[in-house]
Amino acid sequence: MINLRDLPSVGKLLESPVATDLIAVYGRPLTLSALRDALDEIRRKKVSIEAIDPTSTEIIFNRAGDMLAIRTAPSLRGVINSTGVILHTNLGRAPYSKATSRAMDEISHVYSNLEYDLSQGERGSRLVHAENLLKSLTGAEAAIVVNNNASAVLLVLAALANRRKVIVSRTQLIEIGGGFRLPDIMKQSGAKLVEVGTTNRVHLNDYREALQGNAALVLHAHRSNFKLIGFTDEPELSELAAISREFDLPAVDDLGSGALINTEKYGLAHEPTVQESLKAGFDLVCFSGDKLLGGPQAGIIVGNSKLVEKLKRHPLARALRADKTRLAGLSATLLHYLKDEAEHEIPVWKMISEPLEKIRLRAEDWCRRLGSGEVIKGESTVGGGSLPGEMLPTYLLTIRTASPESFLEQLRGCQPPVIARTSQDVVLIDPRTVLPDQEDELLSNLTVTIAALP
């Protein structure tokens, strides 16, 4: 039986070289409180007394080391996405290209010309950095980048339609999840929503009638996460733009995802592109940076230069502005499109364009290396408010287990955590969304989890 008074004091523990090592890593205040807590735990007999040899401090240091590791681990960390959902909003949407991460890293720890005009030696604007790239890529006259697409829509409505009417079709009054509901954003911006048409059909005449009543703008919103099928009708984009022009009002398209390249090339349905909306005559088009564009979170608005100028001068533009790392990263991502290398450099497009045969070989290779599981046909999705209901054929590694939910829980507890899905009694691993760099980690985590199966 051990006398608790024989436990070493914190002061005594601090003299040990092990404590010096912990202090070198975690600093003195954190180490001190972890040692105190470890001793307290032992005193309160949370640790079996028999296990303690008063001459050995090992158990105390081990416990303090564990506490320190847990207390300093970042809450936000990388995971392995084996769900097959390419733009998984809960998993941070688009992973960046190598050039994008490099650009963001490089600009982050130096001073920069963020708001400094190098040729004039005077104050400049942060908005110029991505603007030229966006103009070249879309053919728009002007562009502005804000925090995300929800703020892009808010800014447009607040700057151009405060206390005035905005005409939206009932076929497009969307909720895209995470609290973004078009009518709510409208209310926040001070604009007054005027609904036209019915849930399934809207005609040009519905717009024409509403436009008689002194409106500020016409808003078209992409149905990002559902399809309108059956007895349905909507005017063409170009008709909508033309009727707005007839009434001398801006037409704005909230594209949501907004592709810059044609998704049909990859056997998917057509996702509306930014260029198409502009060509149809829309005055402003807004879209996200981290959906199909495949870059950092951002809201991008392109279009008519007079209107963009109004947006830039609105106080909300200052409140919603993007920081230097985001602007650097977005520019690097956009450059991939300009250099016609998006498909090879941007992870989201690499995943979309991955040949089915390569996915099958990868799944079979994993199956062989694990010495268990089975490869079957399955489906991946794009997700992230683009291409609703569209599936990409894939091959899945399946692992049969009596309790798939507890298997998933084990995987989530791995380092790095693995996120997978299940169907009935099998765990499904989709190679499409597993980044090549994470493959070895995935396999060792699966090996450990399979070995622990009862």
Ligand X SMILES: *Cc1c(COP(=O)(O)O)cnc(C)c1O
Nearest to 140 by CA among 130, 150, 151, 126: 130
294 versus 378: smaller Cβ distance to ligand X: 294
Neighbours of 395 (CB within 10 A): 23
149 versus 438: smaller Cβ distance to ligand X: 149
287 versus 395: smaller Cβ distance to ligand X: 287
180 versus 407: smaller Cβ distance to ligand X: 180
Kindly tell me the burial class for residue 101, based on how many C-beta atoms sit within 10 Å of its own C-beta (0-12, 13-18, 19 or more). middle
178 versus 436: smaller Cβ distance to ligand X: 178
Task: Name 117's bridge partners.
Answer: 122
Contact 416, 80 (CB under 8 A): yes
Closest CB 340 distance from ligand X, rounded Å: 25
Closest CB 154 distance from ligand X, rounded Å: 9
Nearest residue to ligand X by CB is 256
Kind and range of the H or E element at 53? none
Closest CB 172 distance from ligand X, rounded Å: 9
Closest CB 323 distance from ligand X, rounded Å: 15
Contact 284, 277 (CB under 8 A): no
Q: Which residues bind ligand X (CB under 6 A)?
A: 148-150, 153, 176, 180, 221-222, 224, 254, 256-257, 288, 299, 385
252 versus 332: smaller Cβ distance to ligand X: 252
Position 8: which residue type? P
Place of tokens 């079709």: 169
Closest CB 8 distance from ligand X, rounded Å: 54
Residue 88 Cα distances to 345, 419, 427, angstroms: 19, 11, 18
Structure tokens at 68: 């320190």
295 versus 404: smaller Cβ distance to ligand X: 295
155 versus 428: smaller Cβ distance to ligand X: 155
Report the C-alpha gap between 107 and 116 in whole angstroms.
Answer: 14
Question: Could you please report the per-residue DSSP string of 170-234?
Answer: GGG--B-STT-BHHHHHHHHT-EEEEES-SSB--HHHHHHHHTTTEEEEEEE--TT----SS-B-
Closest CB 219 distance from ligand X, rounded Å: 10
Closest CB 256 distance from ligand X, rounded Å: 2
Kindly tell me the burial class for residue 281, based on how many C-beta atoms sit within 10 Å of its own C-beta (0-12, 13-18, 19 or more). middle
Closest CB 294 distance from ligand X, rounded Å: 13
Report the C-alpha gap between 71 and 386 in whole angstroms.
Answer: 38
